[in-house]
Structure 1
């Protein structure tokens, strides 16, 4: 998994019809874009350091646009 600042991190629910979490990557620890990431979660407006698991994927900023949410 590779990401850049401004990309979205999306974590799918483990339960059928459960909510997904979406956050904006605000910080990287590695210059190659590999985890961990600092993410600002859109549902709670706080930042956390995360090592994404198998239910996570990155949506690159160019895929959703500068102002997409």
Structure 2
């Protein structure tokens, strides 16, 4: 896993809940962990060694992922309401 400051860490737990945090600092060699991450859910900062269900996205990748999610929701609402 490689990251740089400004990337996003998505960490999914065993129950399938994903939390998202901004990578503020990279302390490992060549972009490797640990990362200082500011979590969006509570603005808490932690030093993280990401587990196997975590992934790093660039800001562009995160924007694309969010746009795809929004599009799926809008399609589902249209299918449900017929509008």
TM-score range, shorter chain: 0.7 to 0.9
Supply the RMSD in Å over aligned alpha carbons: 1.6
Structure 1 unaligned blocks of 5 or more: none
Relative to its length, the structure with more helix (as a share) is 2
Q: Larger relative CO (CA 8 A, sep 6+): 1 or 2?
A: 1
Distance 1:4 1:19 in 2: 24
Runs of 4+ displaced beyond 2 Å: none
Distance 1:57 1:64 in 2: 11
Distance 2:20 2:8 in 1: 7
Larger radius of gyration: 2
Shift of 1:12: 1.1
Shift of 1:26: 0.3
Shift of 1:31: 4.8
Shift of 1:13: 2.5
TM-score in terms of structure 1 length: 0.81
Alignment coverage as a number of residue pairs: 64
Q: What per-residue deviation string (whole Å, max 9, x for no partner) do you get for residues 26-50 of structure 1?
A: 0111351000000000001010001
Q: Secondary structure at the match of 1:62?
A: helix
Structure 2 unaligned blocks of 5 or more: 67-83
